Chains A and B, each alone.
Chain A
């Protein structure tokens, strides 16, 4: 008797789910849920919103299951794209223009607390600048620098060639530097 068990591919799990197998959804959630959630959190900087995006992205996966073509795409690639799109939609709608005065004052005015506050303000400013970038540039930056993906993988996710990815990242970074340079005093970069 062959005791070896083969690990099912994501596509096979989706097919099983479409056929009514709930445990296939649980396996897919275990494989991809954390990555989707953290991708959303890093882009949005808000746990509640990241939860909403994760729920929406996974729901779309469940719904697309009957139409999924095994071998045509990877579930991880599809989820990266859906999550990135959902996040840029939210960034765009919410307009993350948050100023320093909207960051909570630290309870402890010790240097470390002030530094933490400043770091928090910088992250908020970064996400605000990201929200002001064109969607594709923001997505390319997030996939490259937040998710640490290689350019060929980003090209696959964004359905663009390698040169396109490089161009999106370069232009995006220039845009971020310009936006953050305008706020460098406010964000304390002059002090360093």
Chain B
């Protein structure tokens, strides 16, 4: 009779590991549906995309996320949305230039504009921007 106790060997461990490795299950339909429901909710914005905090970045690999992953995704403010609407900063600068030019022409029109207007419409009139009474009051 052999009284030597059997030692748990690396071979025993490998057999055990292989047995677990051979286990393979099909994904239950209900699980598939739940996961697709989650996807739908993320798409509809019902599950908010949270910023990746430091712990998450450390645990799941910051290198796998874009540099922006650690920052909160912010909704564009009203000015940002306006910029998007008109086509960004280049369009905004063009719009500003046109507005400034229009104001300048309105306040101090060049002489040629008077003759051009008279040529087009036959005559020009002048109107005070402020009422004459008010104008006098301001002068004291």
* Contacts A55-B38, A192-B6; A42 near B66 (Cβ below 8 A): no
9-residue interface stretch from B23-31, B80-88, B103-111, B115-123: B23-31
Within 8 A of A (CB), among B1-38: 5-10, 12-14, 16-21, 23-28, 31-32, 34-36, 38
A22, B43: Cβ atoms closer than 8 Å: yes
B12, A123: Cβ atoms closer than 8 Å: no
- Top-5 shortest CB links A-B: A73-B64, A25-B39, A145-B17, A181-B8, A69-B66
Which residues on B are within 8 Å of A, measured CB to CB? 5-10, 12-14, 16-21, 23-28, 31-32, 34-36, 38-40, 42-43, 47, 49-50, 52, 59-61, 63-66, 68-69, 73
| Interface pairs (25), CB distance under 8 Å | A17-B39, A26-B36, A33-B35, A37-B25, A38-B24, A41-B23, A51-B31, A55-B31, A58-B35, A59-B38, A62-B38, A62-B47, A64-B65, A64-B69, A69-B65, A72-B64, A85-B59, A123-B19, A141-B17, A145-B20, A145-B21, A146-B21, A176-B13, A180-B13, A181-B8
